[in-house]
Structure formats: structure tokens, C-alpha cells
Amino acid sequence: MLLAKKSRPLLGLDITTSSVKLIELSRSGSQYRVESYSAEATPQNSVSEKAVVDPTSVGDAVRRAVKRSGARSRDCAIAISGDAAITKIIQMPATLSGNELEGQVELQADQYIPFPMDEVSYDFEVLGPTEHDPDMLDVLLVATRTENVEQRQAAVEAAGLKTRIVDVEAFALEAACRLLKHQMPDQGQGHNVAVVDFGASSTTFSVLRDLKVVYTRDFAFGGQQLTEEIMRTYGLSLEDAGRAKKAGGLPSNYEPEVLDPFIDDMTQQVSRSLQFFLASGSGREQPDQILVCGGCANIPGVADVIGSRVGIPTEIGNPLGDMKLSSRARSSGVMKDATALLTACGLALRSFD
């Protein structure tokens, strides 16, 4: 089920420490349309370090999101974090039939998975012929502890939905990045483009070459740190601090004493990630562009600050920029949240595999 292909409409459901985001897409030719969308705050302490620890509470939030969105489908695609997944490209003889290939992968999987196989969910996908040996196939093997899947499935079932696909966040993000190509030089072809997705508690830095991810790095940093700093500085509850961060109305010292240092931290994280990328292999070249995504991308002027300090043209990434919107999606304020919908969009795109 990890990499299964389905042709039915799927809700892309992104479950994080701060929110559950749900989006439904349709397609006509090459044109996508947002049919429905909603986001709900994740109950406090119900998701910890990307693990669902209280499926019932998360399920309640998902149910509210489904109801508010007006989505008709009850099938969804969800994702586990890259930290929870083991991915390995293995080689298999190209002469094997489909059933033989499946049997060989099953026989060899335990060589690559450092857990007892009865505790593991895994799947595989044939990528194509091995580059320097056409008699062999490259096969992507993906595995995770079954409990990582079951935690999320339990939350989905508590909301009255069915899990049709369990993906990996990194794959969903790569799929969604093609929705950003309208912002990239030459539609991303022949260019390195860095996509930085700032989440609530973690950030993913990816570099794409010809719209394929060639480097990715996850690190603990996100908008929650800004919320917590607002909470400490002004003596607010976490909930009130989050509300004030979005709505404004904080004291006049907020920008110089709280927001500007946080933007400095964002910039340092991007700069450090660029250094890691350039040092990760020979022939690495500085990206031609940076696209900043996630909730933090909505901070006014943040792309300009990052661009000027790292010396690379930087824009806010908008995966919905080329899409049409249904009246239902428009009224739900989907464009306001667009930059934070990379993973959810990547999951919803699995409808069209």
C-alpha cells in the first residue's frame, strides 16, 4: 500500500504537529483544479515528533476538516515522515516476471531492513533499467515499522475515512514540486532549484535538478519556535500566541525583538543547508533559485531577506498558482494557505497515477 497506484479521487491528508490539512484535486487535461480544502488545528500533544500519539483526537480534527471542506471522497492518501522510512534502491534481473520480482524482493528485503519483518510494512516500485547494466532493473524498496502506518490509519478511520495510499513525505514533496515549475526558470529544466518547506516543528530542504530531487535534508526548525518565543515574551498561552502570530496586533517591539531574530534564524538555516548541499558531492553547483514554502513563507518580506543574504533569487513557492479553484475551495481561503500545502498537494496528486 505504500506505493500502490489508484485511479479514484483521493483526499491529500497532511497530518502535522500543528494542523491537519486536507485538499482534493481534479484534473482536466494538464489543468488541475482545487475541488475542496480545509485545515484544522491539531489538538495539543496529539502528534509528537511526527508520530500520532492520540489517534482519536487527531481523527476528530480530520472529521471537522472533512465536514468544513465539503469533500465528497472518503478515500485518502497519507504520508509517514522520511525519518520513519527506510528507502533503498536495489538491483534485480530484468528477466523476472512481475510475480517472480515480487518474490525476489520479499526474499531479499530483510537484508536491507534492520527490523524483524513481522514488524514492518514495505512496498517496492520498479524505476527502470540500471544505468550501466541494462540486464538489471533498479527497484525502489520502501519500508517502515507497521506501527507508524497503523497510528495514522487509526486517526483516519476515527474520522470515517479510508486510507488508500501510505506515501513518504519526501516522495509527496517531490511530486508536488512539479506544481511549482510555473515559478522556475525554464520550467525547472536544466536548472538547480532549492525548495525549502518550513513546517511547524521541522523543515525540509530539497534541491531539484530537472524537477527531480537530487538532495534532501530534514532538520528540527519551524514556525513553532516563533510561536513559543511570542508566548514567552508576552506571557500568552500557546494557543493565544499562535493566534496573535497570524492575526497581528502584537506590541511595537515584536518585529525588532522577536520576529527579526527569527527571520535571521531562518536565513541561517537556509545558508547552512546550502553549504551541506554543496559539500555533499563533487560537481554540486549553487542553485539558480530558492523557493520558500510552508507557513513561515507568509512572513512579510522573508523571501527578500533570504535572497539578499544568501545571494540567490528567492520567491515564495505557490503550488496552487497555476490551478483553478472551485467556489467551495475559494470560500475556504485555500490561497491564503497555499504555500503550506506542498505535502497535501503531493498526496492528492496520487489520484492521477
pLDDT digits (tens, 9 = 90+) for 91-118: 999 999 989 999 999 888 888 888 888 9
pLDDT digits (tens, 9 = 90+) for 285-317: 999 999 999 999 999 999 999 999 999 999 999
**β-pairing verdict for 314-316 and 289-294:** parallel
Q: Identify the pLDDT of residue 107.
A: 86
pLDDT digits (tens, 9 = 90+) for 145-155: 999 999 999 99
**Which cell is 32 given?**
488541475
pTM here is: 0.90
Distance CA 230, CA 254 (A): 8
Q: Which of 201, 174, 182, 213 has the alpha carbon at shortest distance from 318?
A: 182
Backbone angles phi, psi at 208, to 5 degrees: -110, 140
pLDDT band at 18 (very low <50, low <70, confident <90, very high): confident
**Which cell is 156 given?**
483516519
Alpha helices in 159-235 (DSSP H): 169-177, 223-234
**β-pairing verdict for 47-48 and 51-52:** antiparallel
Domains of the chain: 11-82+147-177+322-352 (3.30.420.40), 86-145 (3.30.1490.300), 182-316 (3.30.420.40)
Q: Identify the pLDDT of residue 5.
A: 52
Distance CA 158, CA 64 (A): 11
Residue with cell 533559485: 289
Report whether pLDDT(14) > 80: yes
